[in-house]
Every structure is written in structure tokens, then in C-alpha cells.
Amino acid sequence: MRMSTGEKAFYTINYIILSLAGLICLLPLLNLASISLSGKEAVMSGFVTFWPKDFTTESYNILFEGTPIMRAFGNNVTITLIGVVLSMVFTVFAAYPLSRSWFYGRRYLTLGIVFTMLFQGGLIPTYLVIKQLGLVNSYGALWLPALVSTFNMLIMRSFFESIPEELVEASRIDGAGEWRVLFQVMLPLSLPMVATIALFYGVYFWNAFFNVLIYMNSPEKYNLTVLIQQMIKSQSVLQDINTMSPDEVNNITPEGIKAAGIMIMVLPMLIVYPLLQKYFVKGVMIGAIKG
């Protein structure tokens, strides 16, 4: 079907606005990447924009050799992988029974869960609870409060409700119990939503910052976000790197080190997102239409 003149104008303006918005988000990232790969004189002169000048990887080499960034990266992976698995398990186990019409009191339980979106305990009571549980300075302090996101659980519950009840009844006629219905009927049909919710949790745990500062007392347990923040805040980042030789000091700048650290922090999410994009778009659309 041919588009009218008004529709063509609308889509043209829409593409222009979205392209400009994309450039606004992309250009700062390109600038950071260029600074991290540029030589000292180019960075000090301020002429580095969106393409590296005097290309060098010294900032990355020094960052890997002279800072605990690889340990922090490993901490990030541990926090994210275990956190996503635990949160997905508990979110699914909360959403499935609340989506079943036979579940007694599901309306009141749902209202009680939604209540937590409006009123929360606050920072100090939460910290006291975590402390009483003995989770301070352990990653359990990050995983336990985020086991179930109310928003994510409600989206998944709505998706489960949108699955035809006839499929569930047919499974029960074949002798399937609730566990089999969940794992062999519901979850296979919910892969787009599962991937979307997993991406939400993954971004949350990968970018965890405030909770790490509050609950982690040992620097060995810091993740990338906290480590990079300390490097950016430091006024003597080069002096903090003890393994550098005088020649290496002359080839890099604090700005290059900081830019390299930021790139290492954001690259994994930039790589993962395109792989899950088709599931992400489909899952969000389904949640918007069926929710």
C-alpha cells in the first residue's frame, strides 16, 4: 500500500529526530573511545574528537597491568550472572501462581506486592536488616533486595495471563502437573519476555554502584562501577599505578586511563544488547499490548 504525502513526511521527520537522538548518545562514547586510544600529546592538546590521533593502546595495557580492573571485572561477572539467575527464578515463581485464576487470594497478594512500589522501608532500615542477616561485605547484600522486581514480575504475570488457557488444559489432560506446565508450556512460550526481563536484571546488576558502596567494606569486592568512579574522582591516578616505568608515564595521560576504564565498563553491555535486541523489542511490545 502506497503511503500518503503526510505519512511520508511523518516518517521522514521521525527518522531525522531518532537519528539525531542516536547521535547525541553515540558521540560522547566515540569521544571516550578516541581519547583512550590516542597519544599523550594529542589528548593534552584537546584536538581529539571522534577519531583517535597518534593511535596507541598504552592506556589499556597500563590499566590491565597496574590496576585491579580484571579483578573488578570478575566481580562484575559474578554479581551479574548469579544475580540474574536468582532474580529470574524468583520472578518466575512469583509471577506464575499470581497469573492462575485458581490461586486463592492472588488479588490481595498482588495488591500487597504493588504496595511495595509506592512505599519502601528506606535506606537505614534496609541496611539494618542486611546487617542483622550478616550479609554486609558479601554479595548477598546485592542479590537479596533485588530477588524480585515488582515491575518485572507484573510484566511477566501479564504475559503468563495472555497465554491461552486451552494450552494449559490440554497439558493437564495429558497428565502434566503444575511444574511441567510451567517448564514445558509457559516458559518455552515466554522466551521473548524471559530474555527482556533478564536484560533488565543484567543491566541493573552490571551497573550496581550505590549498594556496592554501602555494603562492601573490602576493596577486593568492588565491581567495575565503583573502581572506575574512584579512578575518575582521583586527582593522582597515575601515581596510584605502581608498576609504571618513566617511559610509560610520558606516553599516557590520566584522561586516557579514565576513558579506557569507562570503555571496559560499558563494552559488555554494548555487545550483549544487540544479541538480545529482537527478543527485547518483541517482549516489550507484548508487555505493552497484553499488560
252, 59 Cβ separation under 8 angstroms: yes
- pLDDT tens-place string over residues 7-38: 888 888 999 999 999 888 888 888 888 888 88
For residue 279, the model assigns a pLDDT of: 65
Low-confidence ranges of the chain (pLDDT < 50): 287-291
Residue closest to 126 by CA, chosen among 135, 118, 113: 135
What is the predicted pLDDT for the residue at 291? 41
Map grid coordinates 500518503 to a residue: 4
Residue 290: per-residue pLDDT: 45
CA 171 – CA 169 distance, rounded (Å)? 5
pLDDT value, residue 239? 55
DSSP state of 209: -
DSSP 207: T
Predicted pLDDT of residue 240: 56
pLDDT at 245: 54
In angstroms, the CA 126 to CA 134 distance is: 13
Residue 167 CB neighbour total at 10 angstroms: 13
Q: What is the pLDDT of residue 113?
A: 83
Domains and their CATH numbers in the chain: 1-56 (no CATH), 59-290 (1.10.3720.10)
Could you tell me which residues come within 8 angstroms of residue 47 by beta carbon, excluding any fewer than 6 positions away? 53
How would you label 245-254 residue by residue, b for 16+ Cβ within 10 Å and e otherwise?
eeebeebbbb
Q: Are 135 and 144 in contact (CB under 8 A)?
A: yes
